[in-house]
Structure 1
Amino acid sequence: MEYLDFELPIKELEEQLQKCQVIGKESEVDVTGTCLQIEKKLIEAKTKIYKDLTAWQRVQLSRHPDRPYTLDHIRAICGETFLELHGDRNFKDDKAMIGGLGKIGDQSFMFIGQQKGYNTKTRQYRNFGMANPEGYRKALRLMKSAEKFGIPVVTLIDTPGAYPGLEAEERGQGEAIARNIFEMTRLKVPIITVIVGEGASGGALGIGVGDVVLMLENTWYSVISPESCSSILWHSWEYKEQAADALKLTSTDMKKQKLIDEIIKEPLGGAHRDRERTFKSVSNAIVKYYDTLKNLSPKDLVNQRMEKYANMGVFKG
């Protein structure tokens, strides 16, 4: 288990508890009382630390190396029913954008999302979760296939942004993202979007237009990352914490501004602390909202979706 800077007091207490338990097993000394005291302190420390996390601390949790990624969610939710589909039928298969068919119970869904890597080799293979234009075109191809067969779409967002390289721009990165946003607004099947990690910039918006948009508790969603915002406004990354506060990018901020529909609670300490519970919460949320959307006609679905986005940012004095 890796610990973030603000979690170091928890690390110390967990190490103390582990040592205490080892002493109890390997000797005849009764350390039950000591272990209970450490456990009590541990619970208090966790509650205090995670109760009032800053925006920057939530950004850090969303990037935790042990946090479950898109494929972890899909495989846990769908099990053996998931069938990954590849390629945009134009240029190549983008490994940063994954998608395919899977079932929750008896209901089929088209799952689409960005995938990050677990180590240096897989991070390079997945391009750090930053999709190229062919990734967004693959996503659109899969959405159109789902529409053709009346299959609802679930998108899982976890990206630091679309790939900003020269070759991506040459192949039409901006057009690919804009095309996806346009086509998703009028897709005739339900779209449920879940932000499971980072939701940065147009890279997230390219698969982020949904009838329902959900965020896991310790995730963020913004037009720009705190580091990039800091470098633009202050010409330094040192002000990333202030930038995170100013951007109002946490799930609580997004819900308050009515830009998302629901916050999915995470286990104390983050999704990586109890992965199975997190997967169950995400699965339940998808099923719950699909049940509210499945009986709408395609016309009502599209009209409701367009009205939802048209009302964002409207101020009535």
Structure 2
Amino acid sequence: MRAYLDFEKPVAELESKIAELRALAARDGATAIGEDVTRLEAKAESALRDLYANLTPWQKTQVARHPERPHCLDYIESLFTEFTAIAGDRVFGEDAAVVAGFARFRGEPVAVIGQEKGSNTESRLKHNFGMARPEGYRKAQRVMELADRFGLPVISLVDTAGAYPGIGAEERGQAEAIARSTDACLALGVPNVAVILGEGGSGGAIAIATSNRVLMLEHAIYSVISPEAAASILWRDSQRAQEAATTMKITAQDLLRMNVIDVIISEPVGGAHRAPQDAIHAAGEAVARAMQDMAGMSPDALREARAEKFLAIGRRLG
């Protein structure tokens, strides 16, 4: 059964009615009901299209966090072949919040780094809801250094509310690990592309998203802090998260206007969670175009272009 968001109630009611009519027709063999179903389907599709064409920043936040939205492992399974995961940071241990390794993208060898939130209770606990500890970022750095050594492009799949804020993570050097991972991104002499799949939260995201090209799904969010945390700091009231989301300019549309991201990847009507494979295919096409744009660039040119990209953001917004 599909999980509906609060603002999707009008569509949920229509689709519930459609399901009831279909069940009635199947039970009683009533062919006349087919016309009613067709009419309601058209009405539901129109309502969904209108609704998603005018989402507020807070509604986009809800869509970005939808539990049925495709996650990192879904993209890896569909877009890559021969994926071989790398485990551990060679310092402390393994962090399942970060999935990293080597694969082929459309036949070409690449390095893949992603943040996995998990799709059910067991996997969410295993992957710590996509919130990486220092060892996760050190694993990402390890993979980037290997990719640079062997001339492999790096593709990052970003989906995290932020880095894990626990005491143990801080004791093991969370801030330093994020900084070194970010520095490893900047030092790459190979093309790197980041895709914001759902949430791109704070340094937890930028640690693997400091890329030549930053792509973002249409209803994803990308911000320095979560709306709830921003509301708690600014107004000491996390209930004002909706107001914070509007003020913070966290949507793909806002960020494209500010040149923080490079491309918006269109999602199926109703969000990626309604047609996951369509969303994944669109992301794959966008990544392929970004990689093609950088084909033939020298290592120095890639580093200079990447550094200038982020310095320009600082000059514009600073």
Could you tell me which amino acid in structure 1 is paired with residue 169 of structure 2? A
User: How many Å apart are 1:25 and its aligned residue?
Assistant: 2.5
- Deviation string for 1:69-121 (max 9, x for gaps)? 10111111114x11111111111011111111111221111110111122222
RMSD: 1.2
Q: Distance in 1 between matches of 2:133 and 2:232?
A: 24
- 1:52 corresponds, among 36, 54, 57, to 54
For 2:37, the equivalent position in structure 1 comes to: 35
Runs of 5+ unmatched residues, structure 1: none
SS in 2 for 1:268: coil
For 2:238, the equivalent position in structure 1 comes to: 237
Q: Distance in 2 between matches of 1:213 and 1:77?
A: 18
For 1:17, the equivalent position in structure 2 comes to: 18
Q: Distance in 1 between matches of 2:121 and 2:105?
A: 32
User: How many Å apart are 1:28 and its aligned residue?
Assistant: 4.1
Runs of 5+ unmatched residues, structure 2: none
For 1:88, the equivalent position in structure 2 comes to: 89
1:171 and 2:163 correspond: no
Q: Distance in 2 between matches of 1:293 and 1:194?
A: 16
CA contact (8 A) 2:115 2:157 kept: yes
For 1:192, the equivalent position in structure 2 comes to: 193
**Pairing 1:197-276 to 2, within 5 Å after superposition:** 197-276=198-277
Q: Distance in 1 between matches of 2:278 and 2:110?
A: 21
Q: Distance in 2 between matches of 1:27 and 1:246?
A: 53
Q: Distance in 2 between matches of 1:111 and 1:315?
A: 30
Q: Distance in 2 between matches of 1:183 and 1:176?
A: 10
Q: Distance in 2 between matches of 1:180 and 1:255?
A: 24
Q: Distance in 1 between matches of 2:73 and 2:156?
A: 12
CA contact (8 A) 2:68 2:273 kept: yes
Q: Distance in 2 between matches of 1:71 and 1:94?
A: 15
For 2:133, the equivalent position in structure 1 comes to: 132
- Deviation string for 1:142-175 (max 9, x for gaps)? 0000111110000011001101111111111111
User: How many Å apart are 1:286 and its aligned residue?
Assistant: 1.1
TM-score by length of 2: 0.96
SS in 1 for 2:80: helix
Q: Distance in 1 between matches of 2:299 and 2:314?
A: 26
Could you tell me which amino acid in structure 2 is paired with residue 84 of structure 1? A
User: How many Å apart are 1:315 and its aligned residue?
Assistant: 4.3
SS in 2 for 1:271: coil
User: How many Å apart are 1:32 and its aligned residue?
Assistant: 2.1
Q: How many residues align?
A: 315
Q: Distance in 1 between matches of 2:306 and 2:235?
A: 38
User: How many Å apart are 1:243 and its aligned residue?
Assistant: 0.2
